[in-house]
Amino acid sequence: MKLWMNEHEYVDLDEGRPPSRQIATRQRFYDYYALGMFLPDPDPVLRKQGKDITVYRNLLADPHLSGCIQSRKAGVLSCEWLIEPGGGKRADRKAADFVRDVLKGLDMQRIISEVLDAVLFGYSPLEVMWEVDGSQVVISDIVGKPPEWFGFDAENRLRFRSKDHPVEGELLPPKKFLLARNQPSYANPYGERVLSKCFWPCVFKKGGWKFWVIFTEKYGMPFLMGRHPRGATTEEINALLDALERMVQDAVAVVPEDASVEIKEAAKSSSAQVYERLIERCNFEISKAVLGQTLTTEQGRVGSEALGRVHLAVRSDIVDQDKALVVGTLQKAIRWLVDLNFPSVAYPRFRFYEEEDLQPERAERDLKLVQQGVSFTKQYYLKAYNFSEGDILLPGVPDKGAAFASPKRFSPDQEAIEGLLAQADERLQGAIERLINPILEFVRGARSYEELQRSLYGLYPMLDDSKIEELLEQCLFMADLWGRLQGRE
């Protein structure tokens, strides 16, 4: 900003201050011709072929590629999942239970598999189907949609290629579409595609199979050589040729007495190995592109046990990346679900876990260390043995977040008071819901923030919290009375 002192002099007030506006944008780049339309897909294979992403769907017919994809997805689909509360409050646990019940009513295997399609095609749009169940808004289904139906605009926003907006695309409404993307960037919002790396190996492999079949047909069968007399006519020669053709099919032929038939075996050649090696090499490249390794997908290959462990470790890293992709996508749906039903609570967390063995070697080592006087923290047990919060309670270690308390945790008086609170919890929760439900109805029906603000101001005098105050006073009175009685005894 410039402050003019007079008509000839000014002071630059922004001197030394970094600019707040964005400078490097597609709109300002001189070579960007798709302004106002879909952002061109930078995939080199698609640009060279002049086709869209549907060209990759044809590759899925390859049996080796299909097997590698199933193996990679199985690394995530074989894991169990759970919903953890985002906090220790009762409302946080109730929100987690609600989300867990909603997700268990969905086909999570299919949904997770459709999220993982983003690894294959770069991105995977999933449409969220909402419905009202009583006073709550729930997800009835999450459906993966073909990525070729969508594109990205100059601001990297997802748009639907609808008939009404075929050029610029239709901007999608909020809380309606989840978008899973594999390693996207500003320059490439379409994400990295594994199938793009498999395109040429699949093409060359298909050609190798074609020429190998021709080679086998040509040199895999014996040759039949017919000899006719020198003065034979054309009709006699053609008749002998027809007899040889029938002999190839039926192994039976009738030839003139003065003609002869000779069978010659095809010469053995190593040329067939060229096609076999080509197909094997293509399969190697496909395995590396999808799984990051080859030793566990190719039989008969030479490899040491140490190399096998290295390859499996690389594949484990890829599985962890796929898990993070699924968790990040579904976590967004969980946030929407909580925002619509449980305002002002900590968001539950979606997490994968595997049923692992006890790890006897580690357990034996830890036992020896404990016998020597070493003490381990609760965090170590959670991390080393894959326990969840609340699964274990160490002796002498207070654990406020444990789901199951030790009998020595409370005195008999405290146990009695906790029992009274547990009985009052359901009544208190019902009173809170009656207080909050009118607010939620106004939130769902409001068309703008201003309308919502005005409605809440008018609703506030009508909210009755006397029932909550009465229940809290009863709880405090019972606790005080119990303490006085036990103190007198």
DSSP 368-436: HHHHTT----HHHHHHHTTPPTTS---TT---TT-SS--TTSS-HHHHHHHHHHHHHHHHHHHHHHHHH
Residue 144's DSSP bridge partners are: 126
3-state secondary structure of 287: helix
203 within a domain of the structure (yes/no): no
Q: CA-to-CA distance for 402 and 5, rounded, in angstroms?
A: 69
Instruction: Give pLDDT, residue 182.
Output: 94
296 within a domain of the structure (yes/no): no
Residue owning tokens 């890293």 = 317
At residue 357, φ and ψ (nearest 5 deg) are -70, 170
> How many domains is the chain built from?
2
Q: CA-to-CA distance for 193 and 205, rounded, in angstroms?
A: 20
306 within a domain of the structure (yes/no): no
108 within a domain of the structure (yes/no): no
Residue owning tokens 């014996």 = 222
Residue ending a domain, choose from 265, 295, 325? 265
Q: Angle between the 63-77 and 305-341 helix axes, to the nearest 10 degrees?
A: 60
Q: Which of 170, 176, 167 is nearest to 158 (CA)?
A: 170
For 391, residues 6+ apart whose C-beta sits below 8 A from its C-beta are 403
Domain that holds residue 246: 222-265
The tokens describing 46, both together, are 């698609």
* Identity of residue 33: Y
Cβ atoms of 205 and 62 within 8 Å: the answer is yes
252 within a domain of the structure (yes/no): yes
Cβ atoms of 196 and 166 within 8 Å: the answer is no
The tokens describing 432, both together, are 């809170």
Q: What is the mean pLDDT of each run of 10 residues along the chain (489 residues)?
A: 57 51 49 56 80 84 89 90 90 93 95 95 94 91 92 90 84 93 92 90 83 68 64 74 66 55 56 79 88 60 48 67 95 94 91 68 76 74 68 56 41 65 67 71 70 66 69 76 69
Residue owning tokens 């002192």 = 5
Cβ atoms of 128 and 142 within 8 Å: the answer is yes
CA-based radius of gyration for the chain: 36
For 339, residues 6+ apart whose C-beta sits below 8 A from its C-beta are none
Q: CA-to-CA distance for 245 and 80, rounded, in angstroms?
A: 62
3-state secondary structure of 42: coil
157 within a domain of the structure (yes/no): no
Residue 158's DSSP bridge partners are: 152
Q: How far apart, in Å, are the Cα atoms of 451 and each of 127, 330, 341, 454, 455?
A: 29, 31, 20, 5, 6
State pTM to two decimals.
0.60
173 within a domain of the structure (yes/no): no
Residue owning tokens 């945790």 = 409
Cβ atoms of 462 and 434 within 8 Å: the answer is no
Residue ending a domain, choose from 202, 230, 265? 265
385 within a domain of the structure (yes/no): no
Residue 142's DSSP bridge partners are: 128
Q: Which of 118, 125, 138, 105 is nearest to 323 (CA)?
A: 118
Cβ atoms of 262 and 195 within 8 Å: the answer is no
DSSP state of 135: T
292-350 per-position pLDDT tens digit: 865 555 554 545 555 444 444 446 788 899 999 999 999 999 999 999 999 889 999 99
Q: CA-to-CA distance for 195 and 56, rounded, in angstroms?
A: 6
460-475 per-position pLDDT tens digit: 666 666 777 777 777 7
- Surface-to-core class of residue 132, CB atoms within 10 Å of its CB (0-12 exposed, 13-18 middle, 19+ buried): exposed
E strands in 45-112 = 80-84
* Residue 351: Cβ within 10 Å count: 15
DSSP 208-266: HHHHHHHHHHHHSS-EEEEE--TT--HHHHHHHHHHHHHHHHHS-----TT-EEEEEPP
β-strands 223-227, 260-264 pairing:
antiparallel
Residue ending a domain, choose from 249, 265, 281? 265
Q: How far apart, in Å, are the Cα atoms of 248 and each of 215, 220, 358, 489?
A: 18, 13, 65, 110
* Identity of residue 388: S
